[in-house]
Structure 1
Amino acid sequence: MWSRLELGGRLSRVEDKCPAALRRSICYYESNKGVVVANVQKLSVALTPEIIAMLKEAVASGEYTSTSEVVRDALRCWKAQRTAHEVDAEELRRLWREGVASETSIEGEAVFHRLREKYASQPKKG
């Protein structure tokens, strides 16, 4: 993306100021107005002083152009994490179904007994 970002009268590539997650998204900037995104709604959220300090530090360091941008990026990361968790859960379900369908099983207690013996015979660490 080669859109330009205007900060303090200077122009730089969006890639220089936009976190990786945003680079893959549509990212439009307007001087002194922050990110311009269609269908944006304002929402009031109560945050702890520690979180507010982190938001302000991210903006002050130049990593983000506004606290709203920090929050949007955090929410995108949260959404990605939830999606990954759902994929992991579905993969476990698939593996479970595959195991049940294989009709090959070993009694759980026998497996645990073998594991206890194996680890009991190993030298203790520490």
Structure 2
Amino acid sequence: MGAIERMTITMPTELAEAVRQTVAGGEYASTSEVVREALRDWTRNRDAERRDLDALRAAIKAGLDSGPGIPADQVFAELRTRYATKT
């Protein structure tokens, strides 16, 4: 983990009480452990969101780079014609 730095945080009373109860219940040894785990989860979620956003941007770029689009009305008209003749 590297060097340890002390920080002071402020949170709503209800959240602080939930953290204290979690420690008192034995799930964690200290409030610092609760906060560290929450920050690790937040970091993982943030990284996943960034990967998803990058993938979305790549998909949009691939779509834009694939050439000109076809108007939706034209596509649906062609589909209706195609499926009308198959029944």
Coarse TM-score class (shorter-chain normalised): 0.7 to 0.9
Partner SS state of residue 72, structure 1: helix
1:97 aligns with 2:61: yes
1:4-53, Cα deviation, whole Å (9 max, x unpaired): xxxxxxxxxxxxxxxxxxxxxxxxxxxxxxxxx64111111111111101
Q: Letter of the 1:73 partner, please give it.
A: E
Alignment RMSD (CA, Å)? 1.9
Match runs of 1:44-123 below 5 Å: 44-107=8-71, 110=73
**Corresponding residue pairs, total:** 75
State TM-score, norm by structure 2.
0.75
Segments of structure 2 that go 5 or more residues without pairing to the other structure are 77-87
1:38-92, Cα deviation, whole Å (9 max, x unpaired): 4111111111111101111211222111000000000111111110110011000
Percent identity reads 33
Q: Which has the larger radius of gyration?
A: 2
Partner SS state of residue 32, structure 2: helix
Structure 1 runs (4+) deviating above 2 angstroms are: none
Structure (1 or 2) with the greater helix fraction: 2
